[in-house]
Structure 1
Amino acid sequence: MRKFITSGEGLPRWSAPISHAVVVDNLCFVSGQLSIDEEGRYVAGTTKEETARAFQNVFAAVREAGFAREDISFVQVDLIDLRDIADVNVVFESLFEPGKRPARTVAQAAGLPYGARVKLVAVAARERAREA
Structure 2
Amino acid sequence: MAKRRYIVDVPGVPKSPSPISNAVVVGKTCHISGQLAVYDDGYRRGSAREEAARAFELVFAIAREAGFAPDEIVYVNLAFADLDDLPEVNALYAELFTHPPARTIYEAARLPFGAKVKVQAIAMKD
Structure 1 length-normalised TM? 0.91
Q: Which runs of 5+ in 2 are unaligned?
A: none
| Secondary structure class of the residue paired with 2:43 | coil
Matched, 1:18 2:20: yes
Q: In the alignment, is the contact (CA less than 8 A) between 1:54 and 1:120 conserved in 2? A: yes
Q: In the alignment, is the contact (CA less than 8 A) between 1:13 and 1:40 conserved in 2? A: no
Give runs of ≥4 in structure 1 deviating > 4 Å: none
Q: What's the CA shift for 1:40?
A: 5.6
Matched, 1:113 2:112: yes
Q: In the alignment, is the contact (CA less than 8 A) between 1:75 and 1:102 conserved in 2? A: yes
**In structure 2, distance between residues paired with 1:6 and 1:33:** 13
**In structure 2, distance between residues paired with 1:68 and 1:21:** 14
Aligned to 1:102: 101
Give the aligned residue type for 1:126.
K
Structure 2 length-normalised TM? 0.96
How many residues were matched structurally?
Answer: 124
Q: What's the CA shift for 1:43?
A: 1.3
Q: Which runs of 5+ in 1 are unaligned?
A: 128-132
Q: What's the CA shift for 1:112?
A: 0.5
Q: Deviations over 1:60-109 (max 9, x none)?
A: 11011010001000000000111110011011011011xx1100110000
Q: State the superposition RMSD in angstroms.
A: 0.8
The structure in which a higher percent of residues are strand is 2
Aligned to 2:63: 62
